[in-house]
């Protein structure tokens, strides 16, 4: 039985990868089209005021001020803007991390990538987490019709079951990523979503949004727009998962 479960978990890890690759073009299209329409003004304004080819670190303070003005135009309160941008600076390690993503390295192939992200210890942990959370996982799986192995797999791959959620300040990560211009529209939209999460009181006023260098947060490592969409769709339990609430992670993953 244990051996069968191990094979199932391994198969789920591989299947999730295949599904993501197959769905990627459609997902990108569905997400990018409405985002491009909604964020067109911001993208054009940023690139016109701060042309990518002429952009320098000396412009970073002015760029931050422009982002603040964008936030005001989207209804973000002055209190939230002041809190979010307090003591902000250009975090070089964030941009460096973006440039050295393992998937971009020339010597990376499927075999050595899986060896890194799917060691035997991770598989054993997946089995243990399944048993520890069997009731909630089975209940969620039955409700939404998603195999429980897929839920556990995504949870394990993204954050090692909540152990690796990132310690970067999400605002301080998203601002330099937007400033560098490689995916300015995407990261500036994520920044605005993160500010809205703070502004709407989904986190306490003395709490900073913490995540990875890329701005993803929580045990499922979702971007701010994903959390904001869920929260504004009345799925308020998302915020519990965002800050250590394992009980609701399976429902978070499904949505």
Is the pLDDT assigned to residue 53 strictly greater than 90?
no
pLDDT score, position 90: 96
Cα(212)–Cα(221) distance, integer angstroms: 8
Q: Do 179 and 94 touch, CB atoms closer than 8 A?
A: no
Indicate the domain borders of the chain. 2-254
DSSP at 101:
-
pLDDT in tens, 227-245: 887 666 544 444 445 444 5
pLDDT in tens, 175-228: 999 999 788 999 999 999 999 999 998 888 888 899 999 999 888 788 999 888
- Count CB-CB contacts under 10 A for residue 75: 9
């Amino acid at each position: 039985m244990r051996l069968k479960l191990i094979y199932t978990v391994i198969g789920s890890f591989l299947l999730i990868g295949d599904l993501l690759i197959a769905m990627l073009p459609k997902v990108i299209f569905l997400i990018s089209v409405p985002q491009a329409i909604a964020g067109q003004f911001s993208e054009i304004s940023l690139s016109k005021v701060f042309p990518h080819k002429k952009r320098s670190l000396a412009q970073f303070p002015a760029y931050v001020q422009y982002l603040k003005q964008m936030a005001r135009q989207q209804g973000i309160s002055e209190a939230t803007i002041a809190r979010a941008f307090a003591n902000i600076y250009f975090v070089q390690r964030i941009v460096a991390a973006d440039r050295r993503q393992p998937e971009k390295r020339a010597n990376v192939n499927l075999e050595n990538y899986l060896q890194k992200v799917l060691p035997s210890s991770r598989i054993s942990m997946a089995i243990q987490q399944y048993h520890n959370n069997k009731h909630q996982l089975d209940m969620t799986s039955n409700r939404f019709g998603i195999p429980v192995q897929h839920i556990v797999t995504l949870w394990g791959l993204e954050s090692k079951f909540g152990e690796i959620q990132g310690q970067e300040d999400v605002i301080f990560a998203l601002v330099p990523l937007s400033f560098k211009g490689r995916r300015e529209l995407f990261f500036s939209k994520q920044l605005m979503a993160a500010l809205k999460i703070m502004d709407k009181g989904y986190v306490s006023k003395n709490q900073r949004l913490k995540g990875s260098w890329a701005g993803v947060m929580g045990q499922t490592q979702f971007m701010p727009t994903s959390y904001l969409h869920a929260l504004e769709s009345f799925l308020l339990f998302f915020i519990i998962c965002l800050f250590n609430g394992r009980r609701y992670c399976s429902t978070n993953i499904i949505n």
